[in-house]
Amino acid sequence: MTFLQLVNKVLVRLRENEIGTAALNSNPFYRSISAHVNDAKSLVEESWQWSALRGTDTVNVTNTTFADLPNSDDSSYILKGMFSSTEYDPLTDLQPALTPMRPLTQYGVRQRYMGGDLAVPTGQPREYGIIGRSPTTGNMRVKLNPKVQSGTTFTLTMDRVAKQPELVAAADRLLVPSLPVFAYAVALASRERGEVGGLSTSELLVLADNYLSDAIAFDSANYGMELDWYPAGDTPSQTNLSNR
C-alpha cells in the first residue's frame, strides 16, 4: 500500500474527503495525518523482525581495523550475522565464497586489541565486535579481527533487519503489513476527536493491537526455527541461549 493510499484510508475513517498527491502536504491537518501514519509505521516495525525488513548490506574494507555498517544510523538496525570475502572481480565474474565471521563481545574485542592496532595480525576478517557508532554518520561500527592491510580489499556482507525510511512521497510503498499501521494511525488521529465511527481511542488501540498480533503470527510462521528455544548444555552450538 502506498503512502497516499494509507493517508486517504485514514481520512475516510475520519469522515474526511480523500486527497490527491498535490494536497498531501498542503495544510497542517494533512501533515498531521501523514505524521500519524509514520508514527504507526514505526510502532509496527519495532514490534517484530519482519521478513519485509530483512535483507543484506555490503561494504568493501581496506587498510582498516573497523567497518561502518551502511544504513544503520537508526536505532532499530539489528545485525543478524556477518560474512567476509575477497572483493568481487567483474573481469572474471566470479563471486567469492562467503566466510562466516564470529561475533565478539566487547571484552573479546578489547582482548584482541590489547597490544594496540599494530600488534593485531592482518588478513581476511573472521571476527567482529560492535564497538559503537561512527561520530560522523551515526552508523553502527564494528571492530575487525584480523585487520585489513593496505592494498588488500575484502567485502563484508551483513544479514540484518532495518527499518524502512519514513514515508514521504505519495508513491512510497509501505513494506510492513498495512492493516495494523492503518489501525494505529486511526487510533492516533482519533485522540483529537475522541472517537472514530463510534469507537473511542482506547477501543481503537485494542483493535490495532489485535491486528498487529495477527500479522506477527502470520509472519513469524516463516521463521519457526528462530522461535524454538533449547536449554543450554555442554555444547554451545546446540543451544540458542547466550552464555553468561
Core vs surface per residue 45-69: b (16+ CB within 10 A) or e: beebbbeebeeebeeebeebbbbbb
The reported pLDDT for the residue numbered 243 is 41
25 secondary structure, DSSP code = T
The reported pLDDT for the residue numbered 92 is 60
The reported pLDDT for the residue numbered 22 is 92
The reported pLDDT for the residue numbered 244 is 37
The reported pLDDT for the residue numbered 242 is 46
Handedness of CA 17, 20, 23, 28 (dihedral sign): positive
The reported pLDDT for the residue numbered 240 is 53
In angstroms, the CA 2 to CA 18 distance is 14
Q: Which of 84, 69, 81, 98 is nearest to 153 (CA)?
A: 84
- Helices 178-189 and 201-220 cross at an angle (nearest 10°) of 160
Q: Are strands 99-100 and 102-103 parallel, antiparallel or unpaired?
A: unpaired
Q: Which of 203, 201, 182, 199 is nearest to 191 (CA)?
A: 201
Q: How far is CA 61 from the centre of its chain?
A: 22
In angstroms, the CA 164 to CA 59 distance is 19
The reported pLDDT for the residue numbered 229 is 66
pLDDT tens by residue, the chain, 244 residues: 999 999 999 999 999 999 999 999 889 999 999 999 999 999 999 999 999 999 999 999 999 999 999 989 877 899 999 999 886 666 665 666 789 999 999 999 999 999 898 889 999 999 999 999 999 999 999 999 999 998 889 999 999 999 999 999 999 999 999 999 999 999 999 988 777 878 889 999 999 999 999 999 999 998 877 777 666 555 555 555 544 3
The reported pLDDT for the residue numbered 125 is 94
Element (H, E) at 82: strand 78-86
